[in-house]
Amino acid sequence: MEDRELLQMALKAKATAYAPYSRFEVGAALVTDRGKVYTGVNVENASLGATNCAERTAVFKAVSDGERKIAAIAVATDGDAIPYPCGICRQVLAEFGDAGMRIICGSSSGKFTVHTLGELLPHAFKLR
């Protein structure tokens, strides 16, 4: 799947984000090694620790559907700022992707970057 196509899916997903506190809506779209696409959005909570990022929402949907290997993920938001996965999201991605997994980070302005998980989390914690 093309990086721009996955990024467009993330931007489309962003429309259903629940971000009443930060007003920072984020969408994510991932593709598994079997070619299945899952989307996710950030879901905020008044108890901020209970907030879930878009990336983890997409991963958890995929895993709950039986997927175990992520090939690539796109993360998107509005404006010029390019969003990057937070530390917890990077670690969750490391559980289901390898160091070469593509992470596409972009905004509605059309700007985007592509990194590998190994670049963004060079020393991931792994038990297996």
Count, residues in the chain: 128
Q: Which amino acid is at 107?
A: S
CA 35 – CA 61 distance, rounded (Å): 15
| Beta strand extents in the chain (DSSP E only) | 26-32, 37-41, 70-77, 102-107, 112-116
Token pair of 111 as six digits? 């700007």
User: Which residue in this structure is represented by tokens 């792994």?
Assistant: 126
CA dihedral of residues 17, 18, 24, 27 (deg, nearest 10): -20
What residues are annotated to the active site?
55
